Structure 1
């Protein structure tokens, strides 16, 4: 997908789920065109660093060992701390104090793992919002929901979709009728910009009522930048979800989807009951990637012809998105204008 902006926007981006990063193991990752290594140290803390050892360039995620809070190079045993500095060289009495790996700030939230990206490596400018406390009008106790991973989580890898294309679904309620085969057309009830977030409220009219303002379902969503959105459902369904998209390089992204489903009263088990799993699968998990059939082949129209009903929200969302682009486009993106 050619777009007139960079694939390296600033913000928080999901890179996986906490159980995928067990204690004492190193894992290779690739995001934003960079090779990374993730490891959970012996204290249980997760770290993400630049992947290649500054000695002779070995990839720390392929054969690297965790030693205390360090990741140890598989080539010559150099140890790198969570601050990115060389802590030890096993065959000499002192480290190379000038050697430094880039550190990528990480946050874990209810088994979801988020990475802070800034093209120049600057520290986080805002914090990742909390999917529970961001919606205090609803139940904010995570213990009252089933854990999203693995039963209620899905991933799509290396899809040719830029994060802004996903964000532009925010003000678009009409597509539900055509893409998701909705029998009732939802409406955008409200949208506003709060600090770095684009917040919007979508309503699903009650088909059993003659009152057009009566909603069977409301979806409260907060985009936390271009990395995705957290949402709380109110009405016929009362769950939470995250839909996140993270660039791999200048051509494709990985996508992540997780649902926090309310527990059946009295059930404190780790695995949801079969009937709950079947409902969530049928109503939400099967259709989550419907949009991909559009996005994979979509051309980005820089100056679209809008319908009257959607023009203002689309224009404002694209204006809001510009704050996350701090470097110019490269490669195909640079020629897309």
Structure 2
């Protein structure tokens, strides 16, 4: 997918689920065109660093070991700390203070792992919002839901979809009939942009009522930069979800989707029962992949002839998105890549 803006976006981006990063293991990742290593140290903290050792270039994520709060290169045993600095060189009583791996700040919450990315390595200038502190008036505490991973989580890799394109689905109400087979058209009840946040409220009219203002379902959504959106459902459904798109390179992204489904009354298990799993899988876990069948072959249109119903929020989102592009797209003068 060719877009008129960079894939090296600034913000918080999901890179996996906590259970995929066991304590004491090093894991290779690749995002934003960079090879990375993630490791959970012996104290339980998760770190993400540049993947290649600064000694002779071995990928630390492939065979690296965790020692204390450091990760050890599998080639010659050089150790690197969570601050990216060299902490040990085997056979020598010194460290190399001139070499350092880039550190990518990590935010881990409710079983999801997020990484901060800024093309020039600048520190985060806003916090990753807490999934359950948003929309406190909707739903229950985290303990009131079944675990999202692995039963209610999905990932698809190397898709030709830019993060902004995925988020543009938010203010697009008319596609529900054609892509998802909806029998009613949702209504954008409210939307707001505030700093790094673009939020909106969507209502699904109650088909059983003669009152056009009566909604069977309301969806509260919060976009945390271009990394993804967090939604809470109020009405006929009462679940929460997160949907994230993280660039792998300048052509593709990994996409993550997790649902928190309310526990059945009296059920204290974190694991959903078979009948709940079947319902969520058939009715809710498929919707994003229906959108993906469009995104995979979509061409980005810079000046679309939007319907009057969607034009204002749609263009608001596009204007809001420009703040997350700190570098130009590849090929332009001044490109950092």
CA drift of 1:313 comes to 1.3
Separation of aligned partners in 1, 2:269 and 2:215: 33
Equivalent residue number for residue 175 of structure 2? 175
The aligned counterpart of 2:330 is 330
1:195-274 to 2 correspondences below 5 Å:
195-274=195-274
Map of 1:9 onto structure 2? 9
Alpha-carbon distance, 1:56 to partner: 0.8
- Cα pair 1:246 1:255 within 8 Å, conserved: yes
The answer to whether the aligner puts 1:158 opposite 2:158 as a matched pair is: yes
**What TM-score, normalized by structure 1, do the two folds share?**
0.97
1:18 corresponding residue in structure 2: 18
Q: Is the 8 A contact 2:145 2:270 kept in 1?
A: no
The residue aligned with 2:303 is: 303
Moved more, 286-295 or 120-129: 286-295
Q: Distance in 2 between matches of 1:284 and 1:161?
A: 21
Instruction: Quote the Cα distance in structure 1 between the aligned partners of 2:188 and 2:331.
Output: 36
1:98-138 Cα offsets, whole Å, 9 max, x none, are 21000000011100000000000011110111111111112
TM-score, L = length of structure 2: 0.97
Tell me how far 1:163 sits from its aligned partner: 0.5
Alpha-carbon separation, structure 2, partners of 1:327 and 1:244: 21
1:78 match: 78
Partner SS state of residue 90, structure 1: coil
* Partner SS, residue 232 of structure 2: strand
Indicate if the aligned counterparts of 1:174 and 1:187 stay in contact, CA closer than 8 A.
no
Match in the other structure for 2:52: 52
Aligned residues: CA RMSD: 1.5
Task: Report if the CA contact (8 A) 1:240-1:259 is conserved.
Answer: yes
Partner of 1:288, secondary structure, is helix
Unpaired runs of 5+ in structure 1? Answer: none
Deviations 1:47-93 (A, max 9, x none): 00000111111110011110010000111100000000000101101
> Unaligned regions of 5+ residues in structure 2, if any?
none
In the aligned structure 2, how far is the partner of 1:215 from the partner of 1:138?
A: 15
Cα deviation, residue 331, structure 1: 4.7
- Is the Cα contact below 8 Å between 1:133 and 1:140 reproduced in 2? no
The DSSP-based 3-state class of the residue aligned with 2:308 is coil
Measured after TM superposition, the shift of residue 141 of structure 1 is 1.3
Give the Cα–Cα distance (whole angstroms) in 2 for the partners of residues 224 and 158 of structure 1. Answer: 22
CA–CA distance in structure 2, aligned partners of residues 287 and 202 of structure 1: 16
